[in-house]
């Protein structure tokens, strides 16, 4: 009996019924994988359905305007992933005539598809024996096999890749991969793994050596950057002043509001006196209302966002600014924190 037969049996009895588990269509699997890498399954489900309804095939996806994709992606964060999906779809359309490839070697050549996603699509759609390695699988492997090499080190990655390949049940790679990920998500959780109900318990290194809290090991702590965004809300009858963001930062090419960023928190008086503020709005900023600062957490950044409603217009308009009709905001790709504020403020 293969080491993971019990795991696959457990999976077949206990798996969550998720829509993408009923298909071998590579496009649908790709959609689900990219979305689920971004958020929890329950949160990702509505996005999955919306994308599939609007773009039932990769050809539909490939011909979508980028703004529409970003709009549908709104709230998932990491908007570059939404943009990369469009690049992938266009490449599939151009190079494969709209038929999503199913082999690892073809998939890995597509823009925006890394090793994990290529292995997931190849195994789930064509049962190709490729072992997936995501955060959940790293954790299960580390505990089950007792690997204490840091999962974020170069050597660690190599060791885990080999271990994943060695453990793969080549008779049913799709079920094996699904089972490993499901076990990590539902049983072998980061904190308090439910070893008592785990099908691997009797041969698990961490369980037998009381080492579940010590594994997996991570070497680096990611530094969190703090940023302070001071947004100006400028209205003109039924229109509002928005800003199209550039490349090279969070929310690239999406829309927000005119903003002054500071590295430290500022009082309103300090903000009003900043040279950038004076340049755009003059010496006396006419403020109608200041909303309390909201903390918005991104993976490696903490944003402190403050909205300041003005009773004046800017003296100079920046190139990326434009007044748009409030009703058109619904069709505009806005970061979630901006969308939520405007939705409350304008309604
Ligand atoms: Fe994880 Fe516990 Fe199962 Fe080992 S026995 S794989 S630590 S849940």
What is the whole-number distance in angstroms between the Cα of residue 193 and the centre of ligand 1?
6
The model's pTM: 0.74
Catalytic (active site) residue 247: no
Q: Count CA atoms within 13 Å of residue 52 on its CB side.
A: 20
What is the whole-number distance in angstroms between the Cα of residue 150 and the centre of ligand 1?
18
- What CA–CA distance (Å, rounded) separates 103 from 14? 28
- Could you tell me if 195 and 221 are in contact, meaning their C-beta atoms sit under 8 angstroms apart? no
Q: Which of 144, 203, 208 to mutate to test the pocket of ligand 1 (most atoms within 8 A of CB)?
A: 144
What is the whole-number distance in angstroms between the Cα of residue 177 and the centre of ligand 1?
16
The active-site residue out of 33, 128, 149, 182 is 33
The pLDDT score that the predictor gives to residue 168 is: 96
The pLDDT score that the predictor gives to residue 95 is: 97
159: phi then psi, degrees, rounded to nearest 5: -60, -45
The pLDDT score that the predictor gives to residue 1 is: 59
Q: Confirm or reject: Cβ of 144 under 6 Å from ligand 1.
A: yes
Mean pLDDT by 10 residues, the chain (347 residues): 84 95 96 92 95 97 94 85 94 97 97 94 97 96 95 93 96 96 96 96 92 90 87 95 92 93 89 89 90 89 95 91 93 92 90
The pLDDT score that the predictor gives to residue 2 is: 63
287: phi then psi, degrees, rounded to nearest 5: -100, 135
Which residues lie below 8 Å from residue 76, measured CB to CB, with a gap of 6+?
Answer: 35, 38, 39, 44, 47, 82
Atom of ligand 1 nearest to the CA of 139: 1
């Amino acid at each position: 009996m293969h080491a993971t037969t019990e795991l696959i049996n457990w999976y077949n009895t206990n798996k969550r019924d998720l829509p993408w588990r009923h298909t071998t269509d590579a496009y649908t699997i790709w959609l689900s994988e990219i979305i689920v890498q971004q958020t929890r399954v329950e949160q990702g489900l509505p996005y999955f359905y919306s994308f599939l309804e609007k773009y039932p095939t990769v050809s539909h996806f490939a011909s979508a305007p980028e703004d529409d994709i970003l709009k549908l992606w709104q709230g998932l964060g990491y908007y570059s992933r939404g943009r990369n999906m469009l690049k992938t779809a266009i490449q599939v359309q151009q190079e494969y005539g709209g038929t999503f490839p199913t082999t690892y070697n073809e998939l890995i050549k597509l823009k925006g598809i890394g090793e994990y996603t290529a292995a997931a699509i190849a195994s789930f759609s064509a049962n190709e024996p490729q072992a997936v390695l995501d955060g959940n699988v790293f954790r299960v492997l580390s505990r089950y096999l007792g690997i204490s090499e840091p999962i974020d080190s170069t050597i660690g990655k190599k060791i885990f890749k080999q271990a994943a390949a060695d453990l793969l049940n080549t008779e049913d790679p799709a079920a094996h991969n699904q089972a490993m990920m499901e076990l990590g998500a539902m049983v072998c959780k980061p904190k308090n793994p439910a070893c008592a109900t785990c099908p691997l318990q009797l041969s698990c290194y961490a369980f037998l050596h009381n080492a579940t809290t010590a594994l997996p090991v991570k070497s680096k702590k990611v530094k969190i950057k703090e940023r302070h965004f001071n947004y100006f809300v400028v209205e003109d009858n039924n229109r509002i002043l928005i800003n199209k963001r550039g490349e090279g930062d969070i929310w690239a090419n999406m829309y927000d509001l005119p903003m002054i960023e500071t590295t430290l928190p500022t009082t309103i008086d300090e903000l009003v006196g900043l040279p950038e503020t004076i340049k755009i709005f003059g010496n006396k900023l006419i403020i109608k209302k200041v909303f309390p600062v909201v903390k918005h957490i991104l993976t490696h950044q903490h944003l402190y966002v403050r909205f300041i409603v003005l009773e004046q217009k800017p003296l100079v308009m920046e190139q990326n600014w434009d007044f748009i009709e409030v009703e058109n905001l619904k069709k505009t790709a806005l970061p979630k924190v901006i969308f939520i504020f405007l939705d409350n403020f304008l309604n």
